[in-house]
Amino acid sequence: MTAADFRKLALSFPDTVEASHMGHPDFRAHGKIFATFPKPDEKVGMIKLTPEQQAMFVKDEPDMFEPVPGGWGRGGATLVKLKAAKITIVRRAMQQAVANVTAKKK
C-alpha cells in the first residue's frame, strides 16, 4: 500500500475530508479525525481505534499494525506500516475508526 492508496481509502468514506493539524495531513469524518500521516515521509499512517480493536489488529497482522508509542498508543492510536499493508485489511480497520468517531458525534 502506498501513501496515495491510504489517502484514497480514507477519502472514500462518506462525509470525509482531508485537513491538517500540527503540520500533518489528517482525515476527518463529520469533523472528527480518524486517520493521519503522523510523519512527513508518509511511510506510515495512523488510525484511531479503540484499545480492544487495536489489540485485535496488532495480534492478527503484526507486520502491518503496531501501537503508537506512549499514551496515544495506549488509547488506541495505531500505526499502519504502509509497505506491508493490504488495502482490504486497512479498509476494515478504517471502517472501524470512522465508526468510532462518528458514533461519538451522535
Overall pTM > 0.85: yes
> Total domain count for the chain?
1
pLDDT at residue 66 in the model: 97
Q: Rounded distance, CA 78 to CA 19, Å?
A: 19
Residue 105 has pLDDT above 60, yes or no: no
Q: Over the stretch 33-90, which tens digit does the pLDDT of each residue have? A: 999 998 878 899 999 999 999 999 999 999 999 999 999 999 999 999 999 999 999 9
CATH number, domain with residue 32? 3.90.1150.30
Residue 22's domain comprises 3-105
Of residues 96, 102, 99, the one with CA closest to residue 30? 102
